Structure 1
Amino acid sequence: MKMYSYFGKRLFDIFATLIGGVLLLPFVVIIIIWIKVSSKGPLFYIQKRVGKDFNEFNLYKFRSMIIDAEKKGPSVTSGDDPRITKVGKFIRNTKIDELPQLINVLKGDMSLVGPRPEVMKFVKEKKEEYKKVLSVRPGITDNAAIEYRDEETIMKQYENKEKAYLEIVLPQKIKLYYFYIDNISFVNDVKLILKTLKII
């Protein structure tokens, strides 16, 4: 398990990302054109997230919201957020907006499978819990990402979305992150990737 988590996992990430990137390229080109034609703004949304050992990095997503959205609302997004563009609703619901994170995987910021990277604002609030979470590279998918795939719908019911995320949702995610870390293996990573693809 240790050999996989330190060496084999990185090799698997690079190999699978390169293969997947080539297969997805025609589809990605269509998404790029759709985003650029449908709304003004950059192709990517870049946000600081916290990675392994509390090191921050730039996380890439396809832009799904209006320009300067972070200045016009809370850092937690719900499905009824008016800042989301028309194409943004589609790529967020299908998780297509996460595809540029394959760049983060190749750069070594992230893994294909691992705890989802969080913003420093929330990590600081749960610093003790995150010591274990950030002992591994964050990932594009994991148990929590699958369990909370409809997170934006869940967040609709709360008036104070940031408080609800911090006190209700994030603690549950951290439990799932711990479960993943305690059971890291090549087989489990493949299962989680296949489960994610099936859901999408």
Structure 2
Amino acid sequence: MRRIFDALISLLFLLISLPVFLIISIIIKLTSKGPVFFTQMRIGKNNELFKFYKFRTMKLGTPNVATDKLQSAQSYITPVGKVLRKTSLDELPQLINIIKGDMTFVGPRPALYNQYNLKELRTKAGVHKILPGVTGWAQVNGRDNNDDFQKTELDRYYLEHQSFVLDMKILVLTAFKVLRAEGVLEGARGSSARSSVSESKNVPM
């Protein structure tokens, strides 16, 4: 039932947002060299890899690692990329992933193929058994401020308390977080921030 709901709603959103897709695509092509979409292999349900879609916000040649691992991440971000990332509009193409069945609206954020520590932690916690989401409990409880252990524990909480009510709560909180651009760290400067966070709270993400 959830799969049907996801497919229908994401298809509806995709059709409604087509003008936005077109405008963003044109701006990306006019302001930087490279493709409109950024694709990357991510870890999905049961640790199977899938092709993940986003609007490209980084320059060609950017190292293929999580943004918070980059030194001077701001130097890699395109002019329009800053706006897309702050507003989370770069995530819109993930509607394609939902239609394909790779993702759902609410669930653990899909890890990069080379985030081995996060993959191991999630597997031990059983989190790998559910579809990754566009947003999740971890995203509304710290997002980039959390380390791998914190992310996993928050994802475990979602796994053990999944419900329609919790999903709606996460979606509403996500909207507020996006509007306020909370929890977004760009570059290795996030490392020190995460260290202080992990020292001051014991809630895993």
TM-score normalised by the shorter chain: which range applies?
Answer: 0.7 to 0.9
C-alpha displacement of 1:83: 0.8
3-state DSSP of counterpart to 2:147: helix
Name the amino acid aligned to 1:84. Answer: I
C-alpha displacement of 1:121: 2.1
3-state DSSP of counterpart to 2:115: helix
Inter-partner Cα distance in structure 1 for 2:61 and 2:122 = 31
Cross-structure match for 2:7: 14
Preserved contact between residue 118 and residue 152 of structure 2 (Cα < 8 Å): no
3-state DSSP of counterpart to 2:42: strand
Cross-structure match for 1:87: 80
Cross-structure match for 1:4: none
C-alpha displacement of 1:128: 4.8
Name the amino acid aligned to 2:120. Answer: K
User: Which of 156, 171, 190 is matched with 2:149 structurally?
Assistant: 171
Preserved contact between residue 123 and residue 130 of structure 1 (Cα < 8 Å): no
C-alpha displacement of 1:42: 0.4
Preserved contact between residue 121 and residue 152 of structure 2 (Cα < 8 Å): no
User: Which of 151, 159, 167 is matched with 1:189 structurally?
Assistant: 167
What runs of 5+ residues in structure 1 fail to find an aligned partner?
Answer: 1-7, 155-167
Inter-partner Cα distance in structure 2 for 1:91 and 1:61 = 10
- Superimposed CA distance per residue, residues 84-123 of structure 1 (whole angstroms, 9 cap, x where no aligned partner): 1111111111111111111011001111110000023223
Taking structure 2 as the reference length, the TM-score comes to 0.77
Identity, % of aligned positions? 40
Of 126-135 and 137-146, more deviation after overlay is shown by 126-135
C-alpha displacement of 1:27: 1.8
C-alpha displacement of 1:124: 5.1
Cross-structure match for 1:142: 136
Name the amino acid aligned to 1:14. Answer: A
3-state DSSP of counterpart to 1:118: coil
Cross-structure match for 1:158: none
Runs of 4+ with >3 A deviation: 123-126
C-alpha displacement of 1:12: 1.9
Cross-structure match for 2:187: none
Inter-partner Cα distance in structure 1 for 2:84 and 2:2 = 28
Name the amino acid aligned to 1:133. Answer: V
Q: CA RMSD in A?
A: 1.9
C-alpha displacement of 1:28: 2.0
Aligned length: 174
3-state DSSP of counterpart to 1:179: helix
C-alpha displacement of 1:37: 0.8
Preserved contact between residue 9 and residue 186 of structure 1 (Cα < 8 Å): no
Inter-partner Cα distance in structure 2 for 1:182 and 1:65 = 36
C-alpha displacement of 1:55: 0.5
Cross-structure match for 2:158: 180
Cross-structure match for 1:165: none
Name the amino acid aligned to 1:121. Answer: N
What runs of 5+ residues in structure 2 fail to find an aligned partner?
Answer: 179-205
- Superimposed CA distance per residue, residues 39-68 of structure 1 (whole angstroms, 9 cap, x where no aligned partner): 110011111111111110110110000112
C-alpha displacement of 1:18: 1.7
Taking structure 1 as the reference length, the TM-score comes to 0.79
